[in-house]
Amino acid sequence: MLAKRVDAVKRRETTSIDSAPYLDQDILACYVTGLLMANQEGLDEKQIPVEWHIPEQIVSRYASNMVVQNTGQEFIISFFEIFPPLLFGTPADLAKLDQLESVRAECIARIIVSKDRMPKFIEALQTNFERGTEKAANKQQEE
């Protein structure tokens, strides 16, 4: 199915983001093509294809924590990675642990989502969470 979507991008076909089926592969739901609608006064609706591009140099990081803030008009989601100190359980390490006041959480990404798009964002997360959980349960049953 993913190959068909990639071919569609090469042919510049468009599909609606809201009606595109979720991909069954072991990836997050991402749509290879999308649809933007321009509806301004005096203009008819026009479909403009979206080419989804992830640069090769973009770094994927593991987010162990997140903070969500609401400004009333948008949601700010900050993702953090925590690097706990390396401790081996020796008496010296236990002494360091007692003196430790905090652990640094480094912000590795921050996104802002409008309140109008947030329901679709939550729906995509929920759908993928359920599918991932179901897929993991099926794998455990097979073993």
pLDDT tier at 44 (50, 70, 90 boundaries)? Answer: low
Max avg pLDDT among 19-33, 39-53, 80-94 = 80-94
Instruction: Answer yes or no: is pLDDT of 98 > 90.
Output: no
pLDDT tier at 43 (50, 70, 90 boundaries)? Answer: low
Query: Rounded to whole angstroms, how far apart are CA atoms 20 and 34?
Result: 8
Q: What is the pLDDT of residue 126?
A: 95
Residue range 4-21: average pLDDT? Answer: 40
pLDDT tier at 1 (50, 70, 90 boundaries)? Answer: very low
Nearest to 118, CA basis, from 64, 76, 78, 79: 76
Residue range 133-139: average pLDDT? Answer: 91
